[in-house]
Amino acid sequence: MSAPKNMFKQALIKGEQQIGCWMSFAESVTAEIMGTAGFDWLVIDGEHAPNDIRSIRDQLTALASSASHPVVRVPVGETWLIKMVLDAGAQTVLVPVVESAAQAQDLVRGCRYPPDGVRGVGAAASRATMYGSTSDYIQTADQEICLLLQVETRAGVAALDDILQVEGVDGVFIGPADLSTDMGYKGNSAAPEVRAVIADALARIKAAGKAPGILATNDEARQAYLDMGAQFLAVGIDVMLLAQAARALAGQWKPS
């Protein structure tokens, strides 16, 4: 039995638009709820949400029967962390703050088994192989892993063309909040100067044959990024969705 087909990766290769959402609750029950919403992909956020390897595993399990593909964002691009989330069953990994081709090459190697990479060969007892029942996992896993890199600093943008030449990088995700702050705009990703850099970066990613991605949390930004050519777009964050809906409901019905 081979590793499961990564349909999200296949969609990116085909150029299909993929609409997703961020998950920051770090809870399996909310992941399961989000999995019923109809998104193409969902991010299990290990960088800014209170996740550990157990909660990541539990959310992967909660999404196993969902049509929404789980993307795990690791907190940093360390080989040992990537190995852990892959062994937990992740097939798509998002790595923040990538700023060089050399870093990108190291991340590709971290996702692959020897001799092409350095991923530890110990998945037989893990969820990735369904505890040994996926007999040909080691032989077939590499081709189903999807590696997405976040470019979100001026240094990353400067190195973008080199990063895009690295074989094994499937997509590049622009981090608008970090990029705008690094550019001196303190999170204002709508600043014209920031928008210009984002538009140029998305175009360069697409021209290089990689999938361009980004996150937006309001309709104006969502449409702007789609118009710029974003292929995989996250259109919200679960915590923000709950907070906004709850506050609106309270404001509508609570006596003033």
What is the C-alpha to C-alpha distance for residues 19 and 213, in angstroms, rounded to an integer?
10
Q: Is 69 a catalytic residue?
A: no
The residue type at 168: G
Residue 141 CA: distances (Å) to CA of 1, 125, 146: 11, 15, 10
Q: What is the DSSP letter of 51?
A: -
Q: How many helices (H) and strands (E) does the chain have?
A: 12, 8
Residue 176 is encoded by which pair of tokens? 């608008």
Peptide bond into 114 cis (omega under 30): no
Residues 5, 48, 54, 247: which is the catalytic one?
48
What is the C-alpha to C-alpha distance for residues 101 and 95, in angstroms, rounded to an integer?
13
Whether 174 contacts 213, CB under 8 Å:
yes
Enumerate the active-site residues: 48
